[in-house]
Structure 1
Amino acid sequence: MTSRGPSKRVRKAPAERRTEIVTAAARVGLTEGLECVTLRRVADELGVQPGLVGHYFPSADRLVAEAFTSATMAELDSLLPDEPADPGHDTPLRTLRRFFTLTSSADFDNVSRLWLNARHLSRYRPVLRDHVVDQELLWCRRIEQLITAGTRTRTFRCDDPWAAAVRILVAIDGASAYINTSADHRAAPIAHMARTIAETELGLPPGALEPS
């Protein structure tokens, strides 16, 4: 019978290792909260020593901020891609309808909690605050771009796409603010609030953004 020696550790390229650490931290942030994103917790997630994580992120605050950005950026790209996968099919109306369907589903709850968590912590963590502001602006810009495209084709009627995007995002965030406390009670009264506000902002008839 032959014996096996110790497994050989694979040395990863620095960029690959850093991405792996941020992705693991984002996973922890989404499922457990940003307070749980520590060097030791992320090391446990990856099965490595905390010192390895600390080599790439001497400051836990930087890791928390990048974890937040990684998670919210991935969600944004799935909800509102910068470039539509199928320009002929992914019209502004269809894309926005899909956006509201996904953001009002339970699948979006963890991201809603992450935003709520990050806004609270950003009061005390300047690095995280900068990342939160950057992501807020980016999400608004993606919605603005979609509204502008729909206005050009006269699908939407909107004189100020940026202002409309801000109001729509505020409505989504406002509904999400209750995610940790009264989700069951809030469901019926405000389930369609953001969608209704968007229809008004874009000159659409009631129900135009409901799932087809």
Structure 2
Amino acid sequence: MSATQVASNVKRRKPREDRRQEIIDAACTLALTEGLTAITARRVAGYVGVGFGLVTHYFSSIDELVSAAFSKVVADERTAIDERVRGLDSATDRLRATIAAYTTPTRDPLGLLWLDAWRQAADRPLLRAAVVNQMELDLVDMKATIEAGVDSGEFVLADPSSVVAMRVLALLDGQAAASAVRGALAESTLDYPAVEGLLAATAERELGLPTGALALH
């Protein structure tokens, strides 16, 4: 190999963490556009433009890569929502904005990803652990928002904050089930807006809020 070729190879070689992150990012794209089953060493390698052996070098199993991709997509969304609501004046405003972020049609790819992950978790232990971990992190954030509302006098709870937070998250998770058919719902006789209203109304009751306090405008 000539000195020029060696120099070229060194130039193209990326730091280990950068290359690993590039592989995860490619897997994230596949997960959001085609689903978790689309994540294979060959597909990811082709997307990045490397040999598939490099993918298996960084990830000992495809399940490890699937779990890493799922976790990154979900964590990125959580960070984006947190940045969006952090500056709002009240816990009620922050919760309303959080609900809006979780239920907007633009989130449907994330809702479908969650459905895919829940479905595959039974057969993929690493993915199952990732799903549980991300749900626990969501619970921590929701609990913090609710406790902030209790401290400020906005929320009055009949049950512990962790229980109420879990119930609100369960309502939001239920929205994910509609993501697969949301587009068709508008052309059917199904009253989907009524279900969205039920979500806010139930959360209001759980938090001791007046009717309409969490209504999405």
Please, what TM-score do these two structures have when normalized by structure 1? 0.88
Distance 2:163 2:111 in 1: 22
User: Residue 195 of structure 2 is aligned with which of 190, 198, 205?
Assistant: 190
**Is contact 2:103-2:175 (8 Å) kept?**
no
Gaps of 5+ in 1: none
1:208–1:169 CA distance, 2 compared to 1 (3 A): same
Per-residue deviation, 1:66: 0.8
Q: Which residue does the alignment assign to 1:71?
A: 73
Partner Cα distance (2:89, 2:73) in 1: 24
**Structure with more helix by fraction:** 2
Alpha-carbon deviation of 1:182?
5.8
User: What secondary structure does 2:203 align onto?
Assistant: helix
Deviation at 1:136, TM superposition (A): 0.9
Aligned to 2:140: 141
Q: CA deviation at 1:128?
A: 0.6
How well do the aligned residues superpose, as a CA RMSD in angstroms? 2.2
Cα deviation for residue 68 of structure 1 reads 0.6
The share of aligned pairs that are identical, in percent, is 34
Hey, what does 1:96 align to over in structure 2?
95
3-state DSSP of counterpart to 1:110: helix
Matched residue, 2:44: 42
Paired residue type of 1:175: Q
Q: How far off is 1:56 after superposition? A: 0.4
Deviation (angstroms), 1:10: 2.0
Partners in 1 of 2:131 and 2:209 — Cα distance?
31
Q: Which runs of 5+ in 2 are unaligned?
A: none
- For the residue of structure 2 that corresponds to 1:154, the secondary structure is coil
**Deviations, residues 24-74 of structure 1 (Å, cap 9, x unaligned):** 211211111001011111112212221111110120000001111001111
Measure, in 1, the Cα distance between the counterparts of 2:122 and 2:193: 32
Alignment: residue pair count: 205
Does residue 29 of structure 1 match 2:31?
A: yes
Which position in structure 1 is the counterpart of 2:20? 18
Contact 1:122-1:132 at 8 Å conserved across structures = yes
**Whole-angstrom CA distance in 2 between matches of 1:191 and 1:211:** 9
